[in-house]
């Protein structure tokens, strides 16, 4: 008898370049596809509110794609081991195939699944979420890299292979299986009202990922090095949510971008470098599992942080009085995304102008980013804070006014997300507190009523931050 095979979807919600699914299809055996919502698996970092909305829409899309093969996406909720065991009991499946994940909780879960089921059925784990398997690239001593550049060079010596096409045929399990109704999971129940703005902006799912990739290619990858820092211009790929949920693989993106190398060499290299930053972030997370909670450089545990709930709230709501910071925070609230340059600006402001612990910003981003990725999110926050691997120097404190003037020169980004400043001139769009009284009046702005004055004086805050860093300056050695 041709016993069925159980395929467990995780963060690989696609058909193309899905190594595990391709291998399952090639067996010719009847396939049972399932997704399990296991909310107790990661109590430290449960799925954020914005990500829950994306997951709901992505599963809808995946279900429709599987229908083309006459496959049912069986949705189950609860403990993964229990639900997989139940499906095996119901169907007589003799194999379990799934794609590997690399967060600490995911690795622990995979070990539990293997331990619980290996004596009952064949359990096979496949790669595909990263370009390179963990610790595939190590130093000459066989140790994980702590600095990006040598890691990057090591990766470039091993170009990714060609992406796999979607299976031509998949044998479907002939019987209908009990399945939860996706809407009964209420994944978007706790999503704030501003999430109603997501649908016009985003198209979760494999088709949406491909559309975003092709749109990025059409706009000209060669412009990426120049435009990637301009939040007022659509100059980035916006593929990060799709990549996070596995609706597209990093290998697909790498291959597609690499085909443009003859005409857009600089742009291709710049974008591929960003893909390898994602790999580096996972290199850190895998080898230092407490990376999301603890500073990589242990001396930063002695940093004199300043707890200020009021200031934190004003930062979260985009009410700091610094237009570029407020624009970024409001873009995040309304779209579930923030331009990468602005992410650095708002992070620097929280950490260095307000001296609020980076973990507070990390947690806020985790809840509100559609692309909330544990490895990249924690690595980015530690980089800005100066406490991570290969981090920004401690004395680099972004000036939010100069950053706004440089990267949003006409104020278009600020006008979009901070509409109360819309009528200000280009000269004062980033410094409303310096605008003449007559201009403020004509623009309908009453400082501290319609728009706040700066929460801190940046020059004074910078000196305070540098003084704080002096406390640990002479202890700055990387964590072991």
For the annotated catalytic residues, the residue numbers are 274, 277, 305, 340, 358, 381
| Cβ(435)–Cβ(424) below 8 Å | yes
Q: Give Dmax over CA atoms of the chain in angstroms.
A: 85
Intra-chain end-to-end CA distance of the chain, in Å: 54
Q: In terms of Cα–Cα distance, which of 83, 99, 140 is closest to 13? A: 99
The residues with which 36 forms a beta bridge, in sequence order, are 76
What letter would DSSP give residue 350? I
CB neighbours (10 Å) of residue 201?
12
DSSP string, 377-431: HHHHHHHHHT-STTPPPTT----HHHHHHHHSTTSHHHHHH-GGGTTS-TTTTT-
| Cβ(128)–Cβ(12) below 8 Å | yes
Q: In terms of Cα–Cα distance, which of 249, 199, 212 is closest to 60? A: 199
- Quick check: helix, strand or coil at residue 7? strand
- Quick check: helix, strand or coil at residue 102? coil
| Cβ(166)–Cβ(16) below 8 Å | yes
d(CA 79, CA 449): 50
d(CA 208, CA 301): 42
Q: Are strands 31-37 and 73-77 parallel, antiparallel or unpaired?
A: parallel
Residues in the chain, total: 480
For residue 15, what are its two tokens? 């058909």
Place of tokens 């406490």: 387
Radius of gyration in angstroms for the set of CA atoms belonging to the chain, rounded to a whole number: 24
Q: In terms of Cα–Cα distance, which of 180, 179, 182 is closest to 91? A: 179
| Cβ(258)–Cβ(268) below 8 Å | yes
Angle, to 10 degrees, between the axis of helix 104-117 and the axis of helix 80-91?
40
Contacts of 64 (CB under 8 A, 6+ apart): none
d(CA 85, CA 146): 40
* Sheet architecture: strand order including 95-99: 73-77, 31-37, 5-9, 95-99, 122-126
């Amino acid at each position: 008898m041709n016993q069925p095979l159980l395929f467990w979807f995780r963060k690989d919600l696609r058909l193309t370049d899905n190594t595990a699914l391709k291998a399952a299809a090639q067996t010719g055996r009847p396939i049972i596809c399932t997704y399990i919502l296991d909310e107790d698996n990661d109590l430290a970092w449960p799925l954020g509110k914005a990500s829950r909305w994306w997951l709901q829409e992505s599963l809808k899309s995946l279900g429709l794609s599987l229908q083309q093969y006459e496959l049912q996406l069986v949705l189950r909720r609860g403990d993964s081991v229990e639900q997989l065991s139940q499906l095996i009991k119901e169907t007589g499946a003799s194999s379990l195939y799934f794609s590997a994940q690399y967060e600490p909780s995911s690795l622990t879960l995979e070990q539990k699944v293997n331990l619980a089921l290996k004596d009952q059925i064949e359990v096979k784990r496949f790669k595909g979420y990263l370009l390179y398997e963990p610790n595939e690239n190590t130093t000459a001593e066989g140790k994980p890299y702590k600095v990006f550049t040598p890691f990057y060079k090591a990766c470039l010596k091993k170009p990714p292979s060609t992406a796999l096409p979607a299976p031509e045929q998949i044998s479907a399990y002939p019987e209908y299986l009990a399945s939860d109704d996706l809407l009964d999971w209420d994944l978007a129940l706790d999503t704030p009202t501003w999430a109603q703005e997501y649908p016009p902006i985003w198209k979760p799912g494999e088709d949406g990922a491909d559309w975003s990739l092709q749109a990025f290619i059409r706009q000209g990858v060669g412009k990426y090095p120049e435009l990637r820092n301009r939040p007022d211009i659509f100059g980035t790929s916006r593929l990060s949510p799709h990549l996070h949920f596995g609706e597209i693989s990093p290998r697909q993106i790498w291959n597609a971008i690499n085909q443009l190398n003859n005409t857009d060499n600089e742009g291709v290299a710049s974008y591929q470098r960003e893909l390898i930053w994602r790999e580096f972030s996972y290199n850190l997370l895998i080898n230092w599992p407490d990376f999301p909670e603890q500073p990589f450089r242990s001396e930063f545990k002695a940093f004199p942080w300043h707890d200020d709930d009021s200031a934190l709230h004003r930062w979260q709501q985009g009410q700091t009085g610094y237009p570029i910071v407020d624009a970024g925070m409001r873009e995040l609230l309304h779209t579930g995304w923030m331009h990468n340059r602005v992410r650095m600006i708002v992070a620097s402001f929280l950490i260095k102008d307000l001296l609020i612990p980076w973990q507070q910003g990390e947690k806020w981003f985790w809840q509100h980013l559609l692309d909330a990725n544990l490895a990249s999110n924690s690595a980015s926050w530690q980089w800005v804070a100066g406490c991570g691997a290969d981090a920004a120097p401690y004395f680099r404190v972004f000036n939010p006014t100069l950053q706004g003037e440089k990267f949003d020169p006409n104020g278009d980004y600020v006008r979009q997300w901070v509409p109360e400043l819309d009528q200000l001139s280009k000269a004062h769009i980033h410094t409303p507190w310096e605008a003449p009284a007559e201009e403020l009046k004509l623009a309908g702005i009453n400082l501290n009523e319609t728009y706040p004055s700066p929460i801190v004086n940046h020059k004074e805050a910078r000196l305070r931050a540098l003084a704080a860093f002096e406390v640990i300056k002479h202890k700055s050695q990387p964590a072991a």
